[in-house]
Amino acid sequence: MNLKIFLFIKLLVLFFISSASALVIGSDEEEIYIDANFSGKNLLVFGSFFSDPSQARDSKSDILIEVVGPTEDVIIRKKESFFGFWLNSKSVGFNDVPGFYYLSSTNEISNEFLNENNIGLLNKKDTQLIDWSALNIDWGNIKNEKEKNSFYDALIRTKESEDVYRRVNGEIDIIDGNLFRSYIEIPNTVPVGQYEVNLYLIIDNIISNEYSYNFMVTRVGIEEAIYSLSKNYPLIYGLISLLIAILIGWSGAEVFKRFRKV
């Protein structure tokens, strides 16, 4: 928690040294560690609207927080009915899709605004979060726009059901009119890698200031040891896995011999 105190002091210092600029950011973590007990994490993002504490936030200023996770390649498959059987038929490969995406604002922000300002990975369609033009998509033999859209929708829907894509508003706490604070839920299924946090100060529908920083999600301890062994020395990893299975299986039988009268 020393880090928090440090950041709070940093924040206070910034108030006084940079009187002109707006949007001052503190952050809780530089790194999220995945260990054996990892079951998700609440990431704290905090800061102030204006560097001058006397300048209180009014109803026209909003904060927008965007968190983008590391990218991954996915395949979306569609099931179709063949003679009564539901089988995978068409598939689309989406490359460089963010493994995590979160968008939060103090008040509801219109899609038009996000479109105009080209914020993050937004758009194409109102409900969608991804900027499809930035993706490398393998459409296979699908040419129909409507069908393509059904695959876009399916990607978003699936990611939302896994809690890795979220868009919320009103989840940012405002303290004393000028400080803001938000806890962003990072679920236990998130991919490891570098995450980008983008903050925007919006005044009168215009981005007045923005700030970005990165944090890492990394495996540590036994989790890291197991993972890297499995990738770097797969044969040794496989043999160790077998050895554990053999030892436990055998000792299980030995222990139970005592209880059995045969």
Q: Pick one of 30, 31, 58, 73: the residue that binds another protein (CB under 8 A).
A: 73
| Interior angle at CA 71, CA 127 and CA 4, nearest 5 | 90
* CA distances to 38, 56, 72, 113, 143 from 165, in Å: 20, 32, 14, 20, 27
Is residue 9 at the binding interface for another protein, with CB under 8 A as the rule?
Answer: no
* CA distances to 20, 120, 207 from 115, in Å: 29, 9, 13
Q: How many residues bind another protein (CB under 8 A)?
A: 66
Is residue 76 at the binding interface for another protein, with CB under 8 A as the rule?
Answer: yes
Q: Which tokens in the block code for residue 230?
A: 């499995």
Pairing of strands 165-169, 101-105: parallel
Helix H or strand E encompassing 105: strand 101-105
Q: Pick one of 2, 54, 86, 133: the residue that binds another protein (CB under 8 A).
A: 86
Is residue 88 at the binding interface for another protein, with CB under 8 A as the rule?
Answer: yes
Is residue 194 at the binding interface for another protein, with CB under 8 A as the rule?
Answer: no
Amino acid (one-letter) located at 18: S
Separation of alpha carbons 35 and 255, rounded Å? 32
Minimum separation from the CB atom of position 125 to another protein (A): 16
Pattern 37-66, another protein, x by CB under 8 A: xxxx--------------------------
Q: Pick one of 1, 5, 17, 36: the residue that binds another protein (CB under 8 A).
A: 36
Q: Which tokens in the block code for residue 108?
A: 């509801």
Of 120-139, binders to another protein (CB under 8 A) are: none
Is residue 10 at the binding interface for another protein, with CB under 8 A as the rule?
Answer: no
Instruction: Rounding to the nearest 10 degrees, give the CA dihedral for residues 167, 30, 172, 202.
Output: -80
Name which of 1 and 262 has its Cβ closer to another protein: 262
Q: Where on the chain is the footprint of another protein (CB under 8 A)?
A: 34-40, 72-81, 84-88, 91, 93, 99, 150-151, 154-155, 157-159, 188-189, 191-192, 219, 222-224, 226-227, 230-231, 234-235, 237-242, 244-246, 248-250, 252-257, 260, 262
